[in-house]
Amino acid sequence: MNPKIPVALLGATGTVGQKFIVLLQNHPWFEITELVASPRSAGKTYKEACAWKQDIPIPEYLKEKTVIAAGKELKSRILFSGMDASVAGGLEEIYAEKGHIVISNAKNHRTDPDVPIIIPEVNPDHFEITKNQKYKGAIITNSNCVVMPMAMVLAPLDEEFGIEWVQLTSMQAVSGAGYPGVSSYDIIGNVVPFIGGEEPKVEIEAQKILGSIDGDVIKSADFIVSAQCNRVPVIDGHTENLSIKFKKKPTPQEVKKILKEWKAMPQKQKLPSAPSSPVIVFEEENRPQPARDIWLEGGMAACVGRIRECPIGDIKMVIMGHNTVRGAAGAAILNAEAYVSLGYLD
């Protein structure tokens, strides 16, 4: 793919915007050409406007690039949005109306019936709904960071056995709260059993992702999710306990086999950001663990372990995903790769 496709970052100075910059370094298809942030950052160089919090330095070619005020005209066709939800919704609509393809990490449009929540391994067919949106361009979202690994695990199991309900308890890393995140007095040596607005998102997004197109909207799947979400003193990596009731009861061995063998569109088309194995299944009783497994497949896989029978449902397991990579910026980049690969940018 030559020359590279120019892209812009909305919310470029924030923590998600910074993660986009890290993950887009030397990307074979995309090149960052425009950095967009709030008016208070506009006109400054990126190094002046940004309180950089990543493990690598700011790329040299971006340090002196002038930050553009959000809402101003942009040249890039694809816009990656890492903006805070308090401002993302309206700005994303403005840019979509102007013909841009907005790949959003924000929650604002996930519940819109004509906006898909895309996981390319699960529902690339949902890109089709963007043709019916009211915009000259399009808005595409990725899922909540808790939903991402859950939906990747549920998709092949639902196809094979059918799902009736899922009970989820999450142990979510502090990086999910952004920067500066949770007060040290609140999180060190503690568990906070509430994350504002999180449980409703977890309880509805997976059904939309595993649903189907019905005319001009997406019809959600009919299974039920019950979620309890907790913040724990881990930097990166959301861990989740699942109990699942199926329409056709599988054995733990059948579940393991399906998840180990599952490949989908990103793997078949060898998209640049796609993990070679979208789901990694552990046999060890004490895995997955954020401290040891979070960077497997570059942080783009769902990690699964402790697959066993459940006395209330049918199967229970532990899953984990990298919340700021596959649950945020990495997911949006893979969505853009899938959108381009499937010919929707033409």
What pLDDT sits at residue 10? Answer: 97
- Look at the block and give the residue holding tokens 């059918």: 162
* pLDDT band, very low/low/confident/very high, at 1 (cuts 50, 70, 90): low
What pLDDT sits at residue 183? Answer: 96
CA dist 302 → 58, 165, 174, 238, 288 (Å): 28, 20, 19, 10, 10
- Give the tens place of pLDDT for each residue, 173-221: 999 998 889 999 999 999 999 999 999 999 999 999 999 999 989 999 9
Determine the Cα–Cα distance for residues 159 and 19; give it in Å rounded to an integer.
Answer: 33
- Which phi and psi (to 5°) does residue 220 adopt? -70, 150
> Mean pLDDT, to the nearest integer, of 320-327?
97
What pLDDT sits at residue 110? Answer: 96
Q: What is the mean pLDDT of the chain?
A: 96
> Mean pLDDT, to the nearest integer, of 309-318?
98
- Give the tens place of pLDDT for each residue, 26-46: 999 999 999 999 999 999 999
What pLDDT sits at residue 241? Answer: 98
How far, rounded to the nearest angstrom, does the alpha carbon of residue 276 sit from its chain's CA centroid?
Answer: 17
Of the candidates 100, 109, 126, 238, the residue annotated as catalytic is 238
What pLDDT sits at residue 212? Answer: 96
* pLDDT band, very low/low/confident/very high, at 320 (cuts 50, 70, 90): very high
- Relative to beta strand 212-214, strand 30-37 is unpaired
The verdict on whether 238 is a catalytic residue reads yes
- Give the tens place of pLDDT for each residue, 299-312: 999 999 999 999 99
Give the residue ranges of DSSP H helices in the chain.
15-23, 46-49, 60-63, 85-97, 147-161, 184-187, 198-209, 252-261, 265-268, 290-293, 330-341
* CA angle, residues 135, 212, 252, in degrees to nearest 5: 135
The verdict on whether 109 is a catalytic residue reads no
Of the candidates 50, 100, 145, 229, the residue annotated as catalytic is 145
What pLDDT sits at residue 85? Answer: 87
Q: Would you say residue 263 has pLDDT above 80?
A: yes
Question: What percent of the chain has pLDDT above 90?
Answer: 95
Neighbours of 3 (CB within 10 A): 6
CA Rg, the chain, in Å? 19
Determine the Cα–Cα distance for residues 127 and 344; give it in Å rounded to an integer.
Answer: 8
- Give the tens place of pLDDT for each residue, 110-142: 999 999 999 999 999 999 999 999 999 999 999
Q: Would you say residue 2 has pLDDT above 70?
A: no
- Give the tens place of pLDDT for each residue, 85-114: 889 999 999 999 999 999 999 999 999 999
What pLDDT sits at residue 339? Answer: 98
CATH of domain 5-144+329-341: 3.40.50.720
* 3 state SS of 277: coil
**What are the extents of the domains in the chain?**
5-144+329-341, 147-322
CATH of domain 147-322: 3.30.360.10
Q: What's the predicted TM-score (pTM) here?
A: 0.97
